[in-house]
Amino acid sequence: MNFAIETQGLSKYYRQVRAVDAVSLRVHRGEIYGFIGLNGAGKTTTIRALLGMIRPSAGSVQVLGQAVGPNGRGPWRRVGHLVEAPAAYPELTVRENLEIARRLHDVPDKNATLRVIERLGLAAYADRRAGVLSTGNLQRLGLARALLHEPELLILDEPANGLDPAGVVEIRELLASLAHEKGVTVFMSSHILTEVDRLATRIGVIHKGRLIEEFDAEKLATLRSHRLEIKVRQLAAAQNTLAQAGFAVKLNASMLVLTEARAIDAPEEVAALLVNAGTPPSRLAVEQEDLEGYFLRLTGEKV
């Protein structure tokens, strides 16, 4: 099987710091892979290794079926990338910056520059010097450069960085359309799960340098835990009733919370129990753990 990205035991150590620790990744072609981790988890280091920008301490990297090495080996004509703060020549305009990229990539079609300017919503800034762009527009310029040569694989480190909410949605739609219409593979990192869950088809979670979890995005809903939340006026009495019926009751922000399956699967029985005991609930609902909560639970961080 020829993967878009494949790493085996990829590791990078900086003295005692295991920035990336034995990461084995497989990204299928056409997939949108969300690479999620907290600050300092090892996302940027992994991405740098995918692009041959650092020398791994151990392990190997293959991109589009070709071995990647720090000596410049790799299928770079077919890959677009954006890593960390996008750099641009500050004295040159947006258009000139992209023109340079077009020539470097040997793209003969002169309209490619204009196309990508429009695609990234940069038309109004095309003749502005890159040095005076806002963070968000500089990010757009970085993305424009990554897309200019119509690569089949995009490797993007925190592509939503610096964008306003409308910009985040716009870029999400752009990446989705590239994947769905042109079959482009997207590997993107983020520290915000909610940012990628609507876009990614597969999600990998990196924590303290290790790939701790990988799942299909559609499984996300079932992986998140559920709980039955109950609001009731006579809190203590209701808590007592439930405890006597054998439920493990937790008190959370003046709500009663049940996490056992028999409560979540039959909330109507819990409601009946409370009504019969003369402590009817004013609200009773099965809630799903939110994405942030799930992510923090996965990484063992405190909510």
Q: Does 55 bind ligand ATP (CB under 6 A)?
A: no
Residue 19 binding ligand ATP, by CB under 6 A: yes
Interface with ligand ATP by CB under 6 A: which range of 36-44, 73-81, 110-118, 145-153? 36-44
Does residue 45 belong to the site contacting ligand ATP (CB under 6 A)?
yes
CB closer to ligand ATP out of 17 and 220: 17
Binding to ligand ATP by residue 204, rule CB under 6 A?
no
User: What's the min distance (Å) between Cβ of 167 and ligand ATP?
Assistant: 19
Closer to ligand ATP by Cβ: residue 45 or 113: 45
Sites for ligand ATP among residues 174-203 (CB under 6 A) = 191
Q: Contact between 162 and ligand ATP (CB under 6 A)?
A: no
- Determine, following the binding rule CB under 6 A, whether residue 252 of this chain makes contact with ligand ATP: no
**Residue of 34, 37, 52, 74 interacting with ligand ATP (CB under 6 A):** 37
Size of the site for ligand ATP (CB under 6 A): 12
Our CA dihedral for 182, 190, 64, 60, rounded to 10 degrees, sits at -170
Output 50 or 101, the one with its CB closest to ligand ATP.
50
Residue 98 contacts residue 105 (beta carbons within 8 Å): no
186: nearest Cα among 29, 2, 20? 29
Tell which one of 44, 62, 161, 279 touches ligand ATP (CB under 6 A).
44
| Residue number with CB closer to ligand ATP (50 or 255) | 50
Regarding 40 and contact with ligand ATP (CB under 6 A), the answer is yes
Mapping DSSP onto H, E and C, the string for the chain reads CCCCEEEEEEEEEECCEEEEEEECCEECCCCEEEEECCCCCCHHHHHHHHCCCCCCCEEEEEECCEECCCCCCCCHHHEEEECCCCCCCCCCEHHHHHHHHHHHCCCCCCHHHHHHHHHCCCHHHCCCEHHHCCHHHHHHHHHHHHHCCCCCEEEECCCCCCCCHHHHHHHHHHHHHHHHHHCCEEEEEECCHHHHCCCCCEEEEEECCEEEEEEEHHHHHHHCCEEEEEEECCHHHHHHHHHHCCCCCEEECCEEEECCHHHHHCHHHHHHHHHHCCCCEEEEEEEECCHHHHHHHHHCCCC
Shorter beta-carbon distance to ligand ATP: residue 53 or 92: 53
70 interacts with ligand ATP by CB under 6 A: no
Contact 225, 294 (CB under 8 A): yes
**Nearest Cα residue to 35 out of 189, 196, 185, 172:** 189
Is residue 159 involved in binding ligand ATP (CB under 6 A)?
no
* Stretch touching ligand ATP by CB under 6 A, among 35-43, 57-65, 116-124, 261-269: 35-43
38, 51 Cβ separation under 8 angstroms:
no
Contacting ligand ATP (CB under 6 A), which of 11, 34, 43, 68?
A: 43
Residue with Cβ nearer ligand ATP (93 or 161) = 161
Is the Cβ of residue 68 or residue 228 nearer to ligand ATP in the bound state? Answer: 68
Nearer to ligand ATP, 191 or 231 (CB): 191
* Stretch of 34-42, 89-97, 217-225, 277-285 lying at the interface with ligand ATP (CB under 6 A): 34-42
Question: Which residues form the interface with ligand ATP (CB under 6 A)?
Answer: 14, 17, 19, 37, 39-45, 191
